[in-house]
């Protein structure tokens, strides 16, 4: 492989540097193309466009590989905790005991939100989607911490901001659920670890304390770890795009949450269960729905299937499927939707349409089964994804703000509208 790539247009040749990543991924750096010529590139959906260099997460979609800072996802899901993974993604190394204790202590210190913010929850109508509330609340936090509302800050301030956001997102998520069911808020507790603390805020009430079960904590921890980062996905790219204007972390993450909400991204976990319920209610005729998903005149898709990058299998889906089985067995739950999901997967993977397009279950196909078993309501599923993705968003925002190569995100376009024409008064318009 030469050092340069050549682009020949007519009688002109343009040369661009070729970059190689540590895992031997190649890129042509065309950042000077527009200044040297009249051309831009067109890449709808950015499927071939590298927006940055990043040292956080590596994934190989053909081989089904996902690693955070070099560590395979399978090992992390099995052995690590969410707080540890957050530290790893954000600061680049696994914390030693002292570092982990300090990080956890900072979580505890900043787990409360300002009492006044409770009024915000009360002002929402009960049917409001919790993703809308979460995004607004994260942005609203900026009003309470003016010293953190900046793009560039010292390592100490950033450390506090990162720990605070990771801790408070959990409190906000649980408060929004309590508000939706009309129960009093349950405050965070210093004696509980990250996942049990969240479960307690969600499910305990003055009438009935919540029994924290080890298998539930484990399943939720695995899900959070698996969702923690996924390099330049839609929501993380949104965080980077917003942050590239030197918008603060609250604003950037608030925007990322809204990008995640869409059913083609983090909203897919909710959409999968809605789809499975609809199929079940319609007599569980799998062929009918597989044919519908293949029919180009229908807008129905198999939710939880397909991925922009994974073309063999999604390693997260494999772990989650096993995790769902284990949890339901341990809890003695029989969920007919899990059986239906497995049968749907089996049928789709035998079908030429899905095989030829390399469409496999993604991270969202089985995660909803676990959330259901835990008792998390359907519209909170994307919120669970957002809690999990928080360390990735924070890590990418920080990496971007520290990278001297960062420029404001500002793509170009090919204009396809009207040519110039004169304004006509309203009386003369047809
Ligand atoms: N059901 C039916 N057909 C599908 C599906 C699906 N779930 N996914 C892709 N296809 C088809 C497309 O129609 C297209 O067919 P064609 O070549 O005949 O036109 C082909 O497969 C390629 O699909 P694209 O839409 O071009 O793939 P893209 O990379 O743009 O989209 C996406 C990826 C959005 C994930 C898509 O597969 C999808 O909509 N899946 C369902 C929603 C979902 O599960 N999203 C969660 C993704 S994981 C995450 O974000 C956390």
Of all protein residues, the one whose alpha carbon is nearest to atom 20 of ligand 1 is 357
CA dist., res. 395 & res. 73, Å (int): 17
- Say which CATH topology domain 4-65 has: Rubrerythrin, domain 2 (2.20.28)
CB 310 within 8 A of CB 61: yes
CB 120 within 8 A of CB 140: yes
Mean pLDDT for 381-389 is: 98
Ligand 1 touching residue 362 (CB < 6 A): yes
Q: Domain 72-263+380-389 in CATH: superfamily?
A: Citrate Synthase, domain 1 (1.10.580.10)
227 in the Ramachandran plot: left (φ > 0), alpha (ψ -120 to 50) or beta?
Answer: alpha
pLDDT in tens, 197-214: 999 999 999 999 999 999
User: Which of the listed residues 306, 310, 353 should we mutate to test ligand 1's pocket, taking the one with most ligand atoms within 8 A of CB?
Assistant: 306
Closest ligand 1 atom to Cα of 301: 1
Residues recognised as catalytic: 307, 364
pLDDT in tens, 103-120: 999 999 999 999 999 999
Distance 260 CA to ligand 1 centre (A): 16
186 contact partners, CB below 8 Å, separation of at least 6 = 174, 178, 200, 201, 202, 204, 205
Residue 127 clears pLDDT 90, i.e. is over it: no
Q: How confident is the model at residue 2 (pLDDT cuts 50, 70, 90)?
A: low
Ligand 1 touching residue 272 (CB < 6 A): no
Mean pLDDT for 234-246 is: 98
Classify 268-374 by CATH class.
mainly alpha
What is the domain partition of the chain in residue ranges? 4-65, 72-263+380-389, 268-374
Distance 357 CA to ligand 1 centre (A): 9
Ligand 1 touching residue 364 (CB < 6 A): yes
Of all protein residues, the one whose alpha carbon is nearest to atom 11 of ligand 1 is 357
Of all protein residues, the one whose alpha carbon is nearest to atom 10 of ligand 1 is 306
Distance 340 CA to ligand 1 centre (A): 21
User: Does pTM top 0.75 for this prediction?
Assistant: yes
Of all protein residues, the one whose alpha carbon is nearest to atom 50 of ligand 1 is 265
> Fold identical between 4-65 and 268-374?
no
Instruction: Check residue 1 and give its pLDDT.
Output: 57
């Amino acid at each position: 492989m030469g050092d340069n790539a050549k682009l020949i247009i007519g009688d002109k040749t343009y040369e661009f540097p070729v970059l190689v990543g540590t895992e031997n991924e190649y890129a042509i750096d065309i950042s000077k193309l527009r200044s040297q010529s009249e051309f831009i590139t067109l890449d709808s959906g950015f499927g071939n466009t590298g927006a940055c260099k990043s040292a956080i997460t590596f994934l190989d979609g053909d081989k089904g590989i996902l690693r955070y800072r070099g560590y395979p996802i399978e090992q992390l899901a099995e052995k690590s905790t969410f707080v540890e993974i957050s530290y790893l993604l954000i600061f680049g190394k696994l914390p030693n005991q002292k570092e982990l204790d300090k990080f956890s202590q900072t979580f505890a210190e900043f787990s409360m939100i300002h009492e006044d913010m409770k009024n915000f929850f009360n002002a929402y109508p009960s049917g409001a989607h919790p993703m809308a509330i979460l995004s607004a609340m994260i942005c609203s936090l900026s009003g309470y911490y003016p010293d953190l509302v900046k793009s560039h800050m010292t390592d100490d301030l950033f450390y506090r901001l990162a720990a605070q956001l990771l801790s408070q997102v959990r409190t906000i998520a649980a408060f929004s659920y309590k508000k939706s069911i009309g129960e009093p808020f349950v405050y965070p507790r210093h004696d509980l670890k990250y996942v049990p603390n969240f479960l307690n805020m969600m499910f305990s009430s003055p009438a009935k304390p919540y029994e924290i079960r080890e298998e539930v904590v484990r399943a939720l921890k695995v899900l959070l770890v698996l969702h923690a980062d996924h390099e330049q996905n839609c929501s993380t790219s949104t965080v980077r795009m917003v942050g590239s204007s030197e918008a603060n972390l609250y604003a950037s993450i608030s925007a990322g949450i809204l990008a995640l909400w869409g059913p083609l991204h983090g909203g897919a976990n909710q959409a999968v269960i809605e789809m499975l319920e609809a199929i079940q209610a319609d007599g569980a005729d799998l062929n009918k729905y597989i044919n519908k998903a293949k029919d180009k005149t229908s807008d129905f898709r198999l939710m939880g299937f397909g991925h922009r990058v994974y073309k063999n299998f999604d390693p997260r889906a494999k772990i989650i499927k096993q995790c769902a089985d284990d949890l339901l067995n341990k809890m003695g739950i029989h969920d007919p939707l899990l059986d239906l999901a497995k049968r749907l997967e089996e049928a789709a993977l035998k079908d030429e349409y899905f095989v030829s397009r390399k469409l496999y279950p993604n991270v969202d196909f089985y995660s909803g089964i676990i959330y259901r078993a835990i008792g998390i309501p359907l519209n909170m599923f994307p919120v669970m994804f957002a809690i999990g993705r928080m360390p990735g968003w924070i890590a990418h925002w920080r990496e971007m703000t520290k990278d001297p190569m960062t420029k404001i995100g500002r793509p170009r376009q090919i204009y396809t509208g009207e040519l110039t024409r004169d304004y006509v008064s309203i009386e003369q318009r047809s």
